[in-house]
Amino acid sequence: MAGPLTGIVVLDLGQVYSGPYCALLLAHLGARIIKVEPPPAGEPLRSRGESEASGESFNFQLLNGGKESLILDLKDAAGLDAFRQLAQRADVLVENFAPGTTARLGIDYPAVSGINPRIVYASVKAFAADSVSSGLRGMDLTVQASSGVMSVNGYPDGPPLRCGPSLVDFLGGAHLAMGILAALFERSVTGRGQSIEVALQDAVIPTLASNLSGWLTDPSAPERTGNRHGGMLESPYNTYPAADGWVSVLCLTEAQWRGLCELIGRPDLRDDKELATSAGRVARMHMIDEVVGSWIIERTAAEAAEALQRAGVPAAKIATLGQLFSGEMARSSPMIQRSDEAGGDATYTFGSPVRLGNHPPRRSGPVPSLGQHTAAILESLSQGGADGR
């Protein structure tokens, strides 16, 4: 079979990142994804930022290649009826509406499980139903603020700073996909579905492990540590200017530290017993940063990173999006898949980070235009629901 989820039908009611990313991960596992979009313009990401003349926004393309697009007005009786027929036949429903929306539409878990007890009904919300923030709205930025993420990003003497990547939304989507698979696994034994919920705030909290450990160790220390370790518990752990860029370096193990000392010609530091533990190195962090920094600044970033890697030390030069997207990543990674469609512009869709030994990486299908599959899906329903079964 094409993937572990071959034959599984997913109704993707997702918007923007977390819900659509979850459904994209399921698509790469072989599931059929029916993206249910509202009239007249589809989900908000379709036209975000860019002119409508140029087709779907890049954001939308990245998350939605290979899905089918079905326009349904869920506020309309005929639309709701078609949705219920689909839900009766589907295996999974994914939604990340604002709190209360599915109940208002009449498609919350009690309603949908009533017509299909086998369905796995998966929701992302900003905050858990049992948290003090239950019911509040939140997207990536909001939860970066509320979770402590922004409080630990930036410089000790500067204000809180948003993390550049949308880590919150994508952690939410990945955890939701995991929950769906757990529920499908359980259903293969019990025959019953269940609801799954992931709160964005909960999904990002584990990423603060270093910061929380630092706070538990010394609650008075600055929460923002710039380029240093989030809990100030490792050294070397920093980003150093090279002759032509920057290099990030850390040593977690003693072997890595010894390898670094030998590479930079400092056997005295290698043999210094005080520096043989991370606590000992942290106590002399400024000296270590100066020693490592003065070795790196005399080399190009690529030379320094390569020599450090040969010495067994995790190190990398800092790459720009431009370098990655137009160079290495575009050529060698199945993570950003470019499709050149006849007569149209190129489109880009994310691949899956999950490689399965039994299945080759899947190429994403084309990005659906709004409502492209509406007629075919509604027709299959009227013919008794042959959709994919």
Q: Nearest distance from residue 376's CB to a copy of itself, in Å?
A: 28
First to last CA, the chain: 15
For a copy of itself, the closer of residues 237 and 295 by Cβ is 237
Q: Which positions from 63 through 102 interact with a copy of itself, judged by CB under 8 A? A: 63
User: What single letter denotes the amino acid at residue 204?
Assistant: V
Q: Site mask, a copy of itself, residues 251-290, x = CB under 8 A? A: -xx-----------------------xxx--x--------
> Under DSSP, is residue 184 helix (H, G, I), strand (E, B) or coil?
helix
Q: Which positions from 306 through 335 interact with a copy of itself, judged by CB under 8 A? A: 309, 312-322, 324-325, 328-329, 332-335
Q: Which positions from 331 through 360 interact with a copy of itself, judged by CB under 8 A? A: 332-336, 348, 350-351, 353-358
Task: Out of 14, 148, 368, 371, name the contact with a copy of itself by CB under 8 A.
Answer: 148
Task: Out of 126, 304, 367, 370, name the contact with a copy of itself by CB under 8 A.
Answer: 126
Question: How far apart, in whole angstroms, are the C-alpha atoms of residue 154 and residue 70?
Answer: 43
Q: How many Cβ atoms from other residues are within 10 Å of residue 381's Cβ?
A: 17
Task: Out of 100, 117, 241, 344, name the contact with a copy of itself by CB under 8 A.
Answer: 241
Q: Which positions from 128 through 147 interact with a copy of itself, judged by CB under 8 A? A: 128, 130-133, 136-139, 141-147
> Under DSSP, is residue 11 helix (H, G, I), strand (E, B) or coil?
strand
> Under DSSP, is residue 70 helix (H, G, I), strand (E, B) or coil?
strand
Q: Which positions from 162 through 181 interact with a copy of itself, judged by CB under 8 A? A: 162-167, 169-172, 174-179, 181
Closest alpha carbon to 293 in 249, 262, 257: 249
Task: Out of 248, 337, 339, 374, name the contact with a copy of itself by CB under 8 A.
Answer: 248
Radius of gyration of the chain (CA): 25
Q: Site mask, a copy of itself, residues 2-21, x = CB under 8 A? A: -xxx----------xx---x
Q: Which positions from 190 through 229 interact with a copy of itself, judged by CB under 8 A? A: 192, 194-199, 201-213, 215-217, 219, 223-228
Question: How far apart, in whole angstroms, are the C-alpha atoms of residue 123 and residue 130?
Answer: 15
Residue 87 and residue 116 in contact, taking contact as beta carbons nearer than 8 Å: yes
Question: How far apart, in whole angstroms, are the C-alpha atoms of residue 315 and residue 299?
Answer: 14
Question: How far apart, in whole angstroms, are the C-alpha atoms of residue 30 and residue 97?
Answer: 25
